[in-house]
A and B are shown apart, each in its own frame.
Chain A
Amino acid sequence: MRLSELVATLTPATFTIVALVMFVLVFVGVAVRTLRPAARAELDAAGSMPLDDDGPGDREQRS
């Protein structure tokens, strides 16, 4: 089947479905990857990055 034929068979409704399937696949991929136990330690460490820096104000903790 040529590509142009394939595109021609796509109706708007198919677009919707293709879009939905694509999204779900990507989401599952990201979720699996992020929630793997192996990622835990590394990501939890990354989570405290904002607190590592030390500007003049932070040391004195004015607020």
Chain B
Amino acid sequence: MSRTETFRYDDDIVRKFMVATLVWGAVGMLVGLWIALQLAAPSLNVAPYFTFGRLRPLHTNAVIFAFAGNAVFSAVYYSSQRLLKTRMWSDKLGRFHFWGWQAIIAAAAITLPLGLTQGKEYAELEWPIDLAIAVVWVVFAINFFATLRIRRERHMYVAIWFYIASIVTVALLHIFNNLSLPAGAFKSYSIYAGVQDAFMQWWYGHNAVAFVLTTPFLGLMYYFLPKAAGRPVFSYRLSILHFWTLVFLYIWAGPHHLHYTALPAWASTLGMVFSIMLWMPSWGGMINGLLTLRGAWNKVAEDPVLKFFVVGVTFYGMSTFEGPMMSIRSVNALSHYTDWTIAHVHGGALGWVGFMTFGMIYWLMPRLFQTELYSKKLATLHFWIATIGIVLYVVAMWAAGITQGLMWRAFDETGRLQYPDFLQTVNRLIPMYWVRALGGSLYITGTLMCAVNMWKTWRKRPAQYEEPEITAPALDDSHEEDLRHGAAPPAGALARVAQARFHRKWEGLPRLFTILTVVAVLVASLFEIIPTFVIDSNVPTIKSVKPYTPLELYGRDIYIREGCYNCHSQMVRPFVDEVVRYGDYSKPGEFVYDHPFQWGSRRIGPDLHREGGRRSDVWHVHHFRNPRSTSKGSIMPAYPHFYSDDIPWDVIQDRVDAMAMLGVPYDATALHDASGLAHAQAKQIADAIVQQGGPAGLQDKEVVALIAYLQRLGTDIKVDQPAEAAAPTPTAMTTEVK
């Protein structure tokens, strides 16, 4: 028998992360409310820093990485110490992790409104911050894995598995999606272009949902739900199946974000099949969570913690049903680019992530502050008000999404688009945007109630926190010895499996276990990614597609900086209605110089891939100054700074050089005199604007660069005019290019 050891848990670090969760949660949600209101009332855009396109990334990054991120760390630091029967390996690394993470969030909050962005959703942060994230994450991982090594509990509980999978996968995702070439202190270009960039991005984007917002929260569920219910999880064996199936399945599902795009059809089929398969383990997990409460339902009536958990787990079930459904191509054809997606993520974010977090916070508060919760009534009120908030939010967005999706594709009896003006489909949604804002406000009110509760509970804390001594027997190597010199010789893998030895070992050994998880994730990723990169026929080259001119390139940088991709797609799908509305559908070969791709994921405004030549230059001049002047009822922000800010001519050469390094074939003139070329083109456009009756003196202004870019979009291949395309070839069921 091994000797007994004494130690104390480090709860101070958990307190820190818990408070940070709530603070950043409130900030992130308030920014969310602000952008929700901007869509209903565009005058709430304050250019240049606080327009929808710049604030929406701030909202998503804040709620994903600051709110959910800090919540995950609270859960990991609290439950791992207890499940492993040890203090964290290093207090110092824990503090570094905490302050480093908060500094990163602060840096995000500053740089995103400044327009410093990589232009890829949920991976907007520029390269210096990305490096900092990698460092902090590695420190966290070192501390976590070292803690596993010094544990005093042989079996690693399933929550720990979920944490391990999350930690290693997030590291992989972050590194590979953010590979980019710096073109300045806070400017970089993705090393991938077009289709491949899209593929990497949604491999990342979808798995961020999986390994930031799902697996760690499942770890949280498998620890805190049994704690709060006072009984073990319904079926531990089911939770093991839940784990392995999720790890093996999730990583494949990313391409479902790219149905009917220029992505090859096989890849999106793969994404669809695996997404549908995901439904099964997810519901297994939900049922496991809910049945943990069997015989304890009376507790749910009294305990706000359990209320949050029950509804949270139910939303997990709902979202994991809705998600696979939306990944079915024909459903996706309707739902994609609409508010249905927004409804889906908020069911998951507000219901699952948010409620699991609040349940955990209310459970932790009295334990971490070592006093009774200030008000259970207030917590219960929070629960109800937030639940009503979610329902209003989600129902409003479902209605908005389906309404707009159906309007886009509606033809009248003469065979013409019933709503040819995109704005008709926007204005119909405004009342629903107000309902959404109301639902969101209710949810935030609940969050603020939680803050009050925390503040008041904290005030009642003891002068000195008790830090009880814990005793546990040390874990020696005897169990491994056991396996090596056990009674029955491990004759072959099969025999060992039959004797339950082998698996005991790999679930007990963090290193082996981690390697297996990494293999699962990596193999799946490689299977997914390699073909898009190596099979040439996936991206057929189109001879007429040429690199952007230096001025157009800078205009594209403005497009990225302003976050136009948050409202505009650049991807015409091969549907009759889209071809009629926008022009010829998009081909993979058209994006080969797009570092990063800008396909977008939501059409709050119309698709812009065939914008080139659709409007006169002067139309754009008026439109950007005040969209309402050309498009009555538009909800697009006004961009007055495009007319006051000069193009920084001296950076243009750097940008062109960076692109050239990524393999974009610029000619000698562009490589030596990019700014001269840009000047000349700017002059041309400025003159054209004057000729068309517009204002003079714009040749140095940013608006000219942006117009150069917009007028170029989609013009490299011969485009049918929308009017002539009334009877396009029936391409609706395939993305393959002839």
User: B53 in the interface, Cβ–Cβ < 8 Å?
Assistant: no
Interface of chain B residues 234 through 250 with chain A (CB within 8 A) = 235-237, 239-241, 244-245, 248-249
Residue in contact with B264 in the complex, picked from A12, A44, A47, A48, CB distance below 8 Å: A12
Contact status B233-A57, CB under 8 Å: no
Contacts of B466 in A (CB 8 A): 56
Contact status B226-A23, CB under 8 Å: no
Known: A12-B531, A46-B157, A51-B227. A63 touches B240 (CB 8 A): no
Contacts of A22 in B (CB 8 A): 523
With A and B bound together, what is the CA distance between A34 and B249 in angstroms? Answer: 18
Smallest CB gap from B277: residue in A: A23
Among the 9-residue stretches B79-87, B199-207, B410-418, B448-456, the one with 4 or more Cβ atoms under 8 Å from chain A is B79-87
B414 CB to nearest chain A CB (Å): 41
Contact status A62-B372, CB under 8 Å: yes
Residue in contact with B237 in the complex, picked from A27, A40, A62, CB distance below 8 Å: A40
B437 CB to nearest chain A CB (Å): 34
User: B503 in the interface, Cβ–Cβ < 8 Å?
Assistant: yes
Known: A30-B241, A33-B503, A40-B237. A49 touches B153 (CB 8 A): yes
Which of A13, A42, A51, A55 has the most B CB atoms < 10 Å from its CB?
Answer: A55
Contact status A56-B237, CB under 8 Å: no
A60 CB to nearest chain B CB (Å): 9
Smallest CB gap from B302: residue in A: A63
Contacts of B527 in A (CB 8 A): 15, 18-19
A63 CB to nearest chain B CB (Å): 6
User: A2 in the interface, Cβ–Cβ < 8 Å?
Assistant: no
Interface of chain A residues 6 through 63 with chain B (CB within 8 A) = 12-13, 15-16, 18-20, 22-23, 26-27, 30-31, 33-36, 38-40, 42-44, 46-51, 53-58, 62-63
Contacts of B241 in A (CB 8 A): 30-31, 34
Contact status B230-A50, CB under 8 Å: no
User: B363 in the interface, Cβ–Cβ < 8 Å?
Assistant: yes
Smallest CB gap from A23: residue in B: B248
Contacts of B368 in A (CB 8 A): 57
Contacts of A35 in B (CB 8 A): 237
Among the 9-residue stretches B265-273, B669-677, B724-732, the one with 4 or more Cβ atoms under 8 Å from chain A is B265-273
A44 CB to nearest chain B CB (Å): 6
Residue in contact with A51 in the complex, picked from B85, B226, B270, B523, CB distance below 8 Å: B226
Contacts of A38 in B (CB 8 A): 498-500
Which of A49, A54, A56 has the most B CB atoms < 10 Å from its CB?
Answer: A49
Residue in contact with B83 in the complex, picked from A44, A49, A55, CB distance below 8 Å: A49
Residue in contact with B363 in the complex, picked from A31, A46, A63, CB distance below 8 Å: A63
26 contacts between A and B (CB under 8 A): A12-B264, A12-B535, A16-B266, A18-B527, A19-B270, A19-B527, A23-B252, A30-B241, A34-B237, A34-B240, A34-B241, A38-B499, A39-B500, A40-B237, A46-B155, A46-B157, A47-B232, A50-B82, A50-B159, A51-B227, A53-B85, A56-B370, A62-B371, A63-B305, A63-B363, A63-B373
Which 4 A-B residue pairs are closest in the complex by CB-CB distance? Answer: A47-B236, A57-B367, A12-B266, A48-B232
Query: Which residues does A use to contact B, with CB under 8 Å?
Result: 12-13, 15-16, 18-20, 22-23, 26-27, 30-31, 33-36, 38-40, 42-44, 46-51, 53-58, 62-63
Query: Which residues does B use to contact A, with CB under 8 Å?
Result: 9, 79, 82-83, 85, 153, 155, 157, 159, 222-223, 226-228, 230-233, 235-237, 239-241, 244-245, 248-249, 252, 264, 266-267, 269-270, 273-274, 277, 303, 305, 362-363, 366-368, 370-373, 466, 468, 470, 497-500, 503-504, 520, 523-524, 527-528, 531, 535, 538
Q: A12-B538, A16-B266, A48-B232 are in contact. List 16 more A-B contacts (CB 8 A).
A: A13-B266, A18-B527, A23-B248, A30-B241, A30-B244, A35-B237, A38-B500, A42-B500, A43-B240, A44-B236, A47-B233, A48-B226, A53-B83, A55-B367, A63-B362, A63-B373
